[in-house]
Structure 1
Amino acid sequence: MEYTRVLHKPLVSEKATWAKEMDNQVVFLVDKASNKVEVRKAVEKAFGVKVERINIVNKRPRTRRRFGREVGRVPGTKKAYVTLAPGEKIEFFEGV
């Protein structure tokens, strides 16, 4: 699978920012069919960095409720916490 199909987008949230500052981790939303090896190759090829470790989290789909009734669905996602090697970094928003 091409790296453009594996990596959907970087996740920028409070938890992702904290992980980046404390543990040198970057969080990506990835394709549901991808695995750790494919994510590692995609990040190394796309950003030219060395990856030390990858943790993957699956978030299950759920139903959206309003006033006790089910009114829709929220799709499930797959996140990859990518730990970069010491000295490596990926900057998404430089100078903002």
Structure 2
Amino acid sequence: MKDMFSIIKKPCLTEKALGLQEINNQVVVKVDPRANKIEIKDAVEKLFSVKVLKVRTANMHGKMKRVGKSFGQQSDWKKAIVTLAEGNKIDFLEKI
């Protein structure tokens, strides 16, 4: 797993994630479930040209969804909460 584009999937743009970005200088991204913290740190630093202080990860379980009579399950995914150094910033909403 060396390709940085396969490690970082997409940003997580929820209210809680945007609050962390404003208050604690942290960003939340969805990552490949097989990626470890070192790979995530290197990928974020290379993609966005920022300095990463800390990476926290969490495995999220997919929700059960219902369509008519049948039930299904969304895919499991992994999120990473990346703490950036002072003065560094990634603004995902600016890119949209």
TM superposition score normalised by structure 1: 0.88
Residue-by-residue CA offset, 1:35-88 (whole Å, 9 max, x unaligned): 000000000000000000010010123433478x66111111100000000111
Cα RMSD, aligned residues only: 1.9
Q: 2:6 and 2:74 mapped to 1: Cα distance? A: 21
> What's the % identity of the aligned pairs?
40
Asked if 2 retains the 8 angstrom alpha-carbon contact of 1:63 and 1:70, the reply is no
Asked if 2 retains the 8 angstrom alpha-carbon contact of 1:24 and 1:84, the reply is yes
Normalized per residue, the structure richer in helix is: 2
Q: 2:95 and 2:76 mapped to 1: Cα distance? A: 33
Aligned to 1:80: 80
TM superposition score normalised by structure 2: 0.88
Q: Which runs of 4+ in 1 moved over 6 A?
A: none
The number of residue pairs the alignment matches comes to 95
Q: Where do 5+ consecutive residues of structure 1 fail to align?
A: none
Q: How does 1:10-21 map to 2 (within 5 A)?
A: 10-21=11-22
Q: Relative to structure 1, is the Cα distance of residues 35 and 73 closer, same or farther in structure 2, using a 3 angstrom cutoff? A: same
Q: Where do 5+ consecutive residues of structure 2 fail to align?
A: none
